[in-house]
Amino acid sequence: MNRLEATHLLVSVLEDEPIVASLGHPAYDLFAAGDRPANFYTWGSMGLASSIGLGLALARPDIRVFVADGDGSLLMNLGSLATIGWTRPSNLVVIVWDNGEYGTTGGQDTATAHGADLDAAARAMGVTATVTVSTAGAFGAAIARARVEPGPWVIVAKVAESAPAVKPPLDCVFIKQRFMAAIGQPEAATRGGGA
Amino acid sequence: MIVDPQWAQGVCEGVHAAGSRHVVYVPDNPLSHVLRILREHYPDITTTLATREEEAFGIAAGLYLGGARPTVMLQSSGLGNSLNALTSLLVPYKIPALVVISMRGDAGEWNDAQVPMGRAVRPICDAIGLPHATADTPESTSETVRLVGQTAFGTRLPGVCLLPRRLTVPSTAPAPELRRGQASA
């Protein structure tokens, strides 16, 4: 299973749940798998996809929030697992595309290619709903469970790099406003000063 | 018994008056007063501890996407930890936050290691385009925090309220010389 195939599977299983994608190839593959307004593509802030997802999950307990992170990105913000393990939002699902490399920057090894175990790290930080999958069947089953069973979930998906050829929209404000409208939180409603 | 300092009460009032009900923070000593007052007197405000400041801004961005008005509280030393989140997420996506920074390295500082970033806080804010205001007196702190928040959420850009040490450190604190150990030559 490569990351693009897994991303296609993810999008096909989900309905209108939001997906926050880490910058670079995870975001590119999410766009390639099917652009949808509830996709939040990051163009920077490496490492923060799971944090953005956490904040969204805390603000919107009524919706299930998916994050498409990368192994290199999560390794840059491992403290996020501790915060997720503490706050334990049951509606957060963090998927880690674990290809053992920094795919967007030229394929340098990440620590997961040398023994680092992000599933075990999540468990060590108090996230109990974790699973590591390496086949499409197991990944699809994990997503189906994570859609309905209490989280927070960390799903480590072992994937091959898939060298995406397309990129999502570049306008950050467009991405944000389309996303907020898609999750029923149009930005105009939050505009203005005072209480 | 701990007395709630007026400036700290003002921060809480300002945050609440700006419509913020979510505070993400990395603690420091002066902010401990703010966090205690929030916990004791503001049951409608949720506080979330982040492991580092950059993470706090990521969580704040997610809160905003979900319709909240986030506040981020940190010490000035943590602004350095926050820059990539600010410059590649909050600023380009126009995601606002009320940012309350407890200053180190300004007048009254005793720790050399705090001075370079303390001196750089305002130039950094200017360089990345973040408006900033300083709470000058205990009496004006509430209004300053509120106005910074109002502008942040109205214009969709993080706004920074600085809390200088002359505001947050009581004048009864021991002189720095008395707290510093004597190294051998």
A170 touches chain B (CB under 8 A): no
Look at residue A184 and tell me whether its pLDDT is greater than 90: yes
A91 neighbors A148 (Cβ within 8 angstroms): no
Q: Kindly report the CA angle at A82 between B31 and A6, in degrees rounded to 5?
A: 135
Burial grade of A45 (CB within 10 A; 0-12, 13-18, 19 or more): buried
Check A48 against B85: CB less than 8 A apart.
yes
Residue B185 lies in a domain: no
Check B48 against A83: CB less than 8 A apart.
yes
Residue B165 lies in a domain: yes
CA contacts within 13 A on the Cβ side of B90:
35
Interface test with B, best of A19, A40, A42, A52 (most B CBs within 10 A): A52
Residue B182 lies in a domain: no
A91 neighbors A149 (Cβ within 8 angstroms): no
Average pLDDT, integer, range B155-169: 97
Average pLDDT, integer, range A162-169: 91
Chain B residues within 8 Å of chain A (Cβ atoms): 16-19, 22, 24, 46, 48-52, 54-55, 57-70, 84-85, 87-89, 92-95, 149-151, 153-154, 156
Which residues on chain B are in Cβ contact (under 8 Å) with A190? Answer: 64, 67, 69, 153
Look at residue A8 and tell me whether its pLDDT is greater than 90: yes
Check A55 against B49: CB less than 8 A apart.
no
Model pLDDT for residues B88-132, shown as the tens digit of each residue: 999 999 999 999 999 999 999 999 999 999 999 999 999 999 999
pLDDT band at B170 (very low <50, low <70, confident <90, very high): confident
pLDDT band at B177 (very low <50, low <70, confident <90, very high): low
Look at residue A194 and tell me whether its pLDDT is greater than 80: no
Look at residue A188 and tell me whether its pLDDT is greater than 60: yes
Here the tokens at position B72 are: 């981020």
Here the tokens at position B132 are: 């900033």
CATH 3.55.50.30 fits A3-190, yes or no: no
Which residues on chain B are in Cβ contact (under 8 Å) with A172? Answer: 92-94
Return the residue matching tokens 């693009």.
Answer: A4
Nearest-neighbour CA in chain A from B145: distance (Å): 11
Share of chain B above pLDDT 70, in %: 92
Share of chain B above pLDDT 90, in %: 90
Q: Across A22-138, where does the E strand assignment appear?
A: 39-41, 65-70, 92-98, 101-102, 108-109, 129-133
Residue B63 lies in a domain: yes
Spatial CB neighbours of B56, under 8 Å, sequence gap ≥ 6: B24, B25, B26, B50, B72, B74, B82
A86 touches chain B (CB under 8 A): yes
| Nearest-CB residue to B153 (from A46, A60, A193) | A193
Check A193 against B16: CB less than 8 A apart.
no
Average pLDDT, integer, range A125-143: 98
pLDDT band at B185 (very low <50, low <70, confident <90, very high): low
pLDDT for the residue numbered B44: 98
Average pLDDT, integer, range A17-24: 98
Check B59 against A52: CB less than 8 A apart.
yes
| Domain span including residue B33 | 6-169
CB pairs under 8 A between A and B: 143
CA distances (Å), origin B22, targets A59, B45, B46, B84, B94: 9, 6, 5, 22, 18
d(CA A170, CA A151): 32
Average pLDDT, integer, range B81-94: 98
Burial grade of B1 (CB within 10 A; 0-12, 13-18, 19 or more): exposed
Rounded to the nearest integer, the mean pLDDT of chain A is 95
Average pLDDT, integer, range B68-86: 98
Model pLDDT for residues A66-105, shown as the tens digit of each residue: 999 999 999 999 999 999 999 999 999 999 999 999 998 9
ipTM of the complex: 0.96
Burial grade of A186 (CB within 10 A; 0-12, 13-18, 19 or more): middle
Q: Across B35-158, where does the E strand assignment appear?
A: 46-49, 70-75, 98-102, 132-134
Residue B94 lies in a domain: yes
Question: C-alpha dihedral over A177, B56, A87, A115, to 10 degrees?
Answer: 100
Check B62 against A57: CB less than 8 A apart.
yes
Which residues on chain B are in Cβ contact (under 8 Å) with A91? Answer: none
| Nearest-CB residue to B151 (from A58, A179, A193) | A193
CA distances (Å), origin A25, targets A11, A51, A90, A116, A187: 16, 18, 27, 21, 27
Longest dimension (CA), chain B: 58
Residue B36 lies in a domain: yes
In chain B, the number of structural domains is: 1
CATH number at residue B35: 3.40.50.970
pLDDT for the residue numbered A195: 42
Contacts 24+ apart (CB under 8 A), A27-30: A27/A68, A27/A167, A27/A168, A28/A164, A28/A166, A28/A167, A28/A168, A29/A3, A29/A4, A29/A162, A29/A164, A30/A68, A30/A168
**Which pTM does this prediction carry?**
0.95
Average pLDDT, integer, range B138-165: 97
